[in-house]
């Protein structure tokens, strides 16, 4: 998954990313190519992270790009 540079934090303890302004999650690898920065997704590890749809309030799994309830799609 590609990550905005503003959602990446690197310090002496490791590399961290955040999605939808949730908690910072440590990742083991950060990749860069012509499209930008990306991290390898592990749905089992991050399955509990949710984003709340501003349209209907439904809580969606973080890897879902569209609200499963109303079809809202966040802009990135």
Residue 76 has pLDDT above 60, yes or no: no
Model-wide pTM > 0.75:
no
Cβ-contact 66, 37 below 8 angstroms = no
Q: Of 59, 51, 2, 30, whose CA–CA distance to 69 is shortest? A: 59
Mean pLDDT of the chain: 81
**Res 46: pLDDT:** 64
Cβ-contact 51, 60 below 8 angstroms = yes
- Range of weakest confidence among 50-54, 57-61, 67-71: 50-54
């Amino acid at each position: 998954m590609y990550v905005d540079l503003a959602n990446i934090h690197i310090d002496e303890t490791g590399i961290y990313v955040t999605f939808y302004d949730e908690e910072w999650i440590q990742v083991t690898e950060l990749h860069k190519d012509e499209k930008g920065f990306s991290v390898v997704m592990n749905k089992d590890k991050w399955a509990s992270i949710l984003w709340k749809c501003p349209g209907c309030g439904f809580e969606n799994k973080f890897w879902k790009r569209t609200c499963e309830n109303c079809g809202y799609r966040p802009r990135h």
